[in-house]
Homo-oligomer: A and B are copies of this chain.
Amino acid sequence: MEMTSLSNVSVLKFGGTSVKNLARIAHVCQIIDTARKAGPVLVVVSAMGDTTDYLIKLATQVSHTPDQRELDLLLSTGEQISITLVTMMLKSMGIKARSYTAYQVGIFTESVHSKARIVDINTDSLHKAFAENEVAVVAGFQGVTTEGDITTLGRGGSDTTAVALSAAIGARYCDIYTDVDGIFTADPNVVAGARRLTEVSYDEVVEMARLGAQVIHPRAVELARQYKVTLRVRNTFKPDDPGTTIDGGKNMEIYRSVSGVAIDKDQSVVAIMDVPDRPGIAGAIMRALAEKNIVIDMIMQSYQPKLGLNNITFTVSQADLDQTISLLTAQKEELGASIVEADPDIAKVSLIGAGMAHQPGIAARLFTILGDASINIKMIATSEMNLTCVISKVDAEKAVRIIHEAFELDKV
């Protein structure tokens, strides 16, 4: 994907809740109408409301493991429906507009189903639309292979579509319209004092998103960081509110070392016990999972030197748990491992901040806070920008509240 020079195009992405019925689509079209007064507009839309979930349910009624190529073609109808309705509505308001599926634009992906990555975008038709003063309404979440097969980009893929298109056309802004006011120091539904951030860096958002703050997909933010696309997370129902701007975070260091606390209840712990201490074993396990496109998150290995055995522990999303267990159980003997165990009743609680790595006292404070509240820590992982603890799922919300308070995240 080549990045063209910065144009005056605005990219507006609307999620499923923003287009869940015709009244909401009418509201979204008002926002588009306002935006187009400032220059050409490209709109990316998700499927209406719960359409994608409904279609997945339909497919799994046909087969527990529906064919992935067919599933992608099925799911792509969700966005195909919403682009046509948004475009019809714009045209009925007298606004020039035109819808585009992924193959009509030329959003080319690798030949992988359900989690394809974008390889190239042909911007010819979009530039033609802008030149003709037409709003281009593009289907999110979908792509096409060079062989003409429809692919999907995985959950949250519409955010990725919007950022990739922004990069390809050099958009001024990529506005991600959603049903919240922006990015908060913690989930406002859990922590009453959670504060909306007005500006945040790509790195911090990637950490927050990856760790479960479900405002914007981390892949999309990573892509935005790579192509320097300025993102704005805005509330569809408060179109005058500026939301949270996500960019390089030039002023970051001066104003905070801890920017938020995130919670992720969608993970499960998987443990493979008593694996022989032989080179290449961990790699073989991870390769088998990678081949099925199963993303593993935290991974750690503990060594029992006297026995010459390792325990390998990692987390996977709940959706991938069954497949992970059956894959590993099938390989257990080959690996020489004794037991494969899973614990789905866990949560990951993470403290995020760009300045954290250079302040070792923060980890000590975090562990003390949790210990004082009698919350047992099962696993710990750290990176440049986050400190993550795996705890019992029942303790998750309490943990977030006490951490938010103790680190004074409610104060600027």
Contact = CB atoms under 8 A, between A and B. Distances in A.
A25 interface: yes
A84 B61 contact: no
- Which of A67, A70, A74 is the most central at the interface, judged by chain B CB atoms within 10 Å of its CB? A70
A25 B62 contact: yes
A103 interface: yes
Interface stretch (A85-93, A366-374, A377-385): A85-93
B58 A70 contact: no
A84 B73 contact: yes
A59 interface: yes
A80 B74 contact: yes
B63 A103 contact: no
Given A22-B62, A62-B22, A88 B103 contact: no
- Which of A55, A61, A62, A91 is the most central at the interface, judged by chain B CB atoms within 10 Å of its CB? A62
Contact of A91 (B25, B70, B83): B70
A104 interface: yes
A43 to B, nearest CB: 13
Contact of A85 (B59, B99, B103): B59
Contacts of A249: none
A129 to B, nearest CB: 13
Nearest to A72: B84
A84 B66 CA distance: 10
A55 B81 CA distance: 9
A27 to B, nearest CB: 13
A58 B77 contact: no
Contact of A62 (B61, B73, B88, B104): B88
Interface string A304-335: 00000000000000000000000000000000
A71 interface: yes
A84 B74 contact: yes
A71 B92 contact: no
B101 A88 contact: no
B25 A148 contact: no
Contact of A66 (B80, B88, B103): B88
Given A22-B61, A62-B85, A80-B80, 19 more contacts: A22-B58, A22-B62, A25-B62, A62-B88, A63-B89, A63-B91, A67-B87, A67-B92, A69-B99, A70-B84, A70-B87, A70-B91, A71-B88, A73-B80, A73-B84, A73-B99, A74-B81, A103-B148, A104-B148
